[in-house]
Amino acid sequence: MRLSTLLIVAALSPVAFGALCAQASAQPPALDLAQLKVPTGFQVSVYAENVENAREMALGPRGTVFVGSRLAGKVHAVVDSDGDHKADRVVLIASGLDQPNGVAMRNGALYVATTSRILRYDDIERHLDAVPAPVVVRDSLPNSTEGHTWKFIAFGPDGLLYMSVGAPCNVCLSPPMVSTILRMRPDGSKLEVFAEGVRNTVGFDWHPRTRELWFTDNGRDALGDDLPNDELNVAWKRGLHFGFPFCHQGDVPDPLFGARRACSTTEPPVQKLGAHVAAIGFTFYTGRMFPARYRNAAIIAQHGSWNRSVPSGYRVMVAHTDGRRVTSYEPLVEGFIRAGAPGGWEAGRAASGRPADVLQLPDGSILISDDTGNRLLRVSYRR
């Protein structure tokens, strides 16, 4: 079978993608905060509403939370000017962009990743009500016209801008620089591959102690309810291969491509996160508000399944770490979907919220973006 045919057969069909978008834009059930389950001492409150299709978040030096979107094509600034832990203003920074999922801050400038460009809004917090025209940092990003075209971005400890480039399909042989994590200088130059064999990461962060890059990765579809798991991976050096499309979850050869590369030659995950949970944005917790056992833990948003007979995900999880190991894996916030909710495409419609990203605030609380509830939730702890 020719490669072009494999790409067409394995790609997510336009019908399926359209159904997924329709599901995401449907009005979800009302969120009852009392129905959310958290460990003793934790509380969940609404930090901001009317943040359309809230996805990746970034914190400005003056405390403004910038929020990208995927389906809305918008970027918002969320301002809590009086410090009462509830937003006073939600300001539209940009609109009409092509899937501006990725946002990152550097030296007071907001970087926004669309499907094909990196844009920069200089000194943005001083210009929320009169946003200057963006600088195009890099045009013609590696991309595909189908599949996982949205980007996640963040600046690493090395000062470089890291960016995900998702697979153009469910499972296929990807073009060069696709199904990767790339990095570049802040001015867009010196673009290079940092990690490959990455199907679709929409969340990464650097471990506070080791400074190694950790990332979530969404597993392929159409292998049943329980295979494969989404992954939490460690890219401890440049040049590692994380399996896609040859091997999934570190130990499951792909039925179509598995004979081309053994699982033993790829990097296994440090934690299997569950099948079809759609683990995406996360952050390592470094604050002082939560109990000490949460220090250096990865707090992971699970967006939730769309292709499982019994829904999975729709929660926020914690992976406690010790160096390059996960020592335990447990829920932090549950209750976004009721027991007995339908599976498949209808699961997303039944959920009262779908966690998309996690951001730590200076006081040690965290924000969770909810892209179907169009809101930011704040998780705090009181002894």
pLDDT at 285 over 50: yes
112 dihedral zone (left: phi>0; alpha: psi -120 to 50; beta): beta
CA–CA dist 215, 202 (Å, integer):
8
CA–CA dist 319, 284 (Å, integer):
9
Q: What is the average pLDDT across 118-147?
A: 94
DSSP character for 74? Answer: -
Quick one: pLDDT at residue 370? 98
Q: Which residues pair with 103 in a beta bridge?
A: 112
Count other C-beta atoms under 10 Å from residue 268's C-beta: 16
Residue 254, CB-side half-sphere exposure with 13 Å CA sphere? 23
Quick one: pLDDT at residue 143? 82
Mean pLDDT of the chain: 93
Give residue-wise pLDDT tens across range 206-215.
Answer: 999 999 999 9
pLDDT at 199 over 50: yes
pLDDT at 264 over 70: yes
Q: What is the average pLDDT across 265-275?
A: 98
Instruction: Give the pLDDT band (50/70/90) at residue 4.
Output: very low
- Higher pLDDT pick, 274 / 5: 274
CA–CA dist 212, 217 (Å, integer):
16
CA–CA dist 148, 165 (Å, integer):
8
- Report field, pTM of the whole predicted structure over 0.85: yes
Does residue 351 contact residue 337 with C-beta atoms inside 8 Å? yes
Quick one: pLDDT at residue 15? 36
DSSP character for 334? Answer: B
Give residue-wise pLDDT tens across range 8-19.
Answer: 334 443 334 444
> Positive or negative CA dihedral for 37, 215, 298, 328?
positive
| Domains of the chain with CATH codes | 3-381 (2.120.10.30)
pLDDT at 167 over 60: yes
Quick one: pLDDT at residue 43? 98
Q: What is the average pLDDT across 287-307?
A: 98
Does residue 357 contact residue 55 with C-beta atoms inside 8 Å? yes
Quick one: pLDDT at residue 9? 36
Count other C-beta atoms under 10 Å from residue 188's C-beta: 18
Task: List CB contacts of 290: < 8 A, sequence separation 6 or more.
Answer: 364, 381
Give residue-wise pLDDT tens across range 29-72.
Answer: 999 999 999 999 999 999 999 999 999 999 999 999 999 999 99
Quick one: pLDDT at residue 145? 73
Quick one: pLDDT at residue 28? 82
CA–CA dist 100, 103 (Å, integer):
8
Q: What backbone torsions phi and psi does residue 378 show, to the nearest 5 degrees?
A: -110, 130
Q: Which residues pair with 274 in a beta bridge?
A: 230
Task: List CB contacts of 133: < 8 A, sequence separation 6 or more.
Answer: none
What burial class does residue 183 get, using C-beta atoms within 10 Å of its C-beta: 0-12 exposed, 13-18 middle, 19+ buried? buried
6: its two tokens: 């494999």
> Positive or negative CA dihedral for 138, 142, 145, 147?
negative
Output Rg (C-alpha) for the chain, integer angstroms. 19
Q: Report percent pLDDT > 70 for the chain.
A: 93
Of 182, 150, 147, the residue nearest 168 (C-alpha)? 147
Q: Write the single-letter amino acid at 241.
A: H
Count other C-beta atoms under 10 Å from residue 158's C-beta: 10
147: its two tokens: 């599949």
